[in-house]
A and B are shown apart, each in its own frame.
Chain A
């Protein structure tokens, strides 16, 4: 159990940098979630036309030159912004850091679709003559691009890579960072997830073909997990990057500590390309609890993955009902109802949205639930208004993805 581990094997969160459709730092994001402020807006993209998306409005020039923004990718830019902000938030004196001991582990749902679509679109204007294909295409589309751009921007010389894990990727990035710290592969991990997915029409088109692209006349009401009138997913962009450190190191520099990652798990359904499997999801949650040495009723807040598709919402609720059947005090919420589905950043952003509960004692709501689906009626579901909690000690964060990939992270207040 984590409490029994020596301090150099315990991993804590000491900084958070993020850009979400409704906030460009943790306090802004938390305030928006407690005030019920959505970040979903009307959005247009080629071939699809009018739709909705969660769009970020951070200042790209805060940490990048115009040239680097132009040369790189949006996933790189959100990653660079969030990583720099995380270091600032952690109060780390960057000039004194041994950058060969910093690792970058960023989850991605996909990468390269945006850049490839753009090049093909450009080629249509040149009669498909590939001599007009950009030399920037390969460095923009290599799978490590977002993490590599962070390394270039910050002069980091330790390992950098992305973790491709569909929509379980945000948690997967955190888990990878934790494991690398425990293995002594790095002393500081920049870990989390990024998404540029709103810039590829393909992701919208594919969800639309699948009957899973949300629409509502009011864009702020389009993302509505657990509601009978849900119509699917709102695609969002964003990033959340955490500075993870070993507890011993964090103590030594007297760092602010948001919480300790005390449990984690990843497993696989192996049953379907798209449809989730509640039994495997439940097993993933149970494994994370077991590793944390916790029983389900010790979890105060479960940050659900639910995306606003009927199959996804129902399967997750079934899994949660099984695991938390005797957990009268556990509360369940959903961040996607505010920002849409930020894909590779989703898990990391949704955990960040809940971290504030350790200090403000509130559980943010799931908004847009006007008519609760009876099959999603979990006893502790926090609907439409935040709930005063008192003391929050444990948050469990679900993040699931296509091809049956499941990830769970549990964070404890210190």
Chain B
């Protein structure tokens, strides 16, 4: 997957786990928590959805990489480069 495709996939996951939030103005460099109503269970949902949809395993000590869209895409790009 390209970085752009990974971003689209994260948006699709966020649409499921934060269905009340408007994602159209999401700023990639700003932490999710400053823009969306996300708590720790929601971040676990992101981790779980990546595991379920793409078999991507994210170790607990690396959850902090998921702070913003930019950091998430940067972190996932090497992990998902071979995923179609």
A interface residues (Cβ-Cβ under 8 A, vs B): 65-67, 70-71, 126, 131-132, 134-136
Interface string of B38-67 (1 = CB under 8 A from A): 000100110010011000010000000000
Pair B51/A131 contact, Cβ less than 8 Å: yes
B34 sits at the interface (CB 8 A): no
Q: Give the Cβ gap from B2 to chain A, nearest Cβ, in Å.
A: 26
Pair B20/A67 contact, Cβ less than 8 Å: yes
Select B41's contact among A65, A126, A136, beta carbons within 8 Å. Answer: A136
B1 sits at the interface (CB 8 A): no
Pair B44/A135 contact, Cβ less than 8 Å: yes
Residues of B within 8 A of A136 (CB): 41
The complex places the Cα of A67 from the Cα of B19 at a distance, in Å, of 6
The complex places the Cα of A199 from the Cα of B44 at a distance, in Å, of 25
Select B37's contact among A67, A126, A132, A135, beta carbons within 8 Å. Answer: A67
The complex places the Cα of A71 from the Cα of B19 at a distance, in Å, of 11
Pair A132/B20 contact, Cβ less than 8 Å: no
B interface residues (Cβ-Cβ under 8 A, vs A): 16-20, 37, 41, 44-45, 48, 51-52, 57
Pair A135/B19 contact, Cβ less than 8 Å: no
Pair B20/A126 contact, Cβ less than 8 Å: no
Q: Give the Cβ gap from B26 to chain A, nearest Cβ, in Å.
A: 16
Pair B41/A70 contact, Cβ less than 8 Å: no
Pair A70/B52 contact, Cβ less than 8 Å: no
The complex places the Cα of A132 from the Cα of B54 at a distance, in Å, of 12
Pair B17/A70 contact, Cβ less than 8 Å: yes
The complex places the Cα of A131 from the Cα of B44 at a distance, in Å, of 12
Pair B19/A70 contact, Cβ less than 8 Å: yes
The complex places the Cα of A67 from the Cα of B37 at a distance, in Å, of 10
The complex places the Cα of A208 from the Cα of B56 at a distance, in Å, of 42
Nearest residue in B to A133 (C-beta to C-beta)? B48
Residues of B within 8 A of A70 (CB): 16-17, 19
Q: Give the Cβ gap from A129 to chain B, nearest Cβ, in Å.
A: 9
Nearest residue in A to B19 (C-beta to C-beta)? A66
Pair A126/B52 contact, Cβ less than 8 Å: yes
The complex places the Cα of A211 from the Cα of B51 at a distance, in Å, of 42
The complex places the Cα of A126 from the Cα of B48 at a distance, in Å, of 12
Nearest residue in B to A65 (C-beta to C-beta)? B20
Residues of A within 8 A of B48 (CB): 132, 134-135
Q: Give the Cβ gap from B43 to chain A, nearest Cβ, in Å.
A: 10
Q: Give the Cβ gap from A139 to chain B, nearest Cβ, in Å.
A: 8
Pair B51/A67 contact, Cβ less than 8 Å: no
Q: Give the Cβ gap from A206 to chain B, nearest Cβ, in Å.
A: 30
The complex places the Cα of A67 from the Cα of B20 at a distance, in Å, of 6
Select A135's contact among B18, B41, B52, B57, beta carbons within 8 Å. Answer: B41
Residues of A within 8 A of B20 (CB): 65-67
Select A67's contact among B17, B44, B52, B57, beta carbons within 8 Å. Answer: B17
Nearest residue in A to B18 (C-beta to C-beta)? A67
Residues of B within 8 A of A71 (CB): 41
The complex places the Cα of A189 from the Cα of B47 at a distance, in Å, of 40
Given contacts A66-B19, A71-B41, 19 further A-B contacts (CB under 8 A): A65-B19, A65-B20, A66-B20, A67-B17, A67-B19, A67-B20, A67-B37, A70-B16, A70-B17, A126-B52, A131-B51, A132-B48, A132-B52, A134-B48, A135-B41, A135-B44, A135-B45, A135-B48, A136-B41
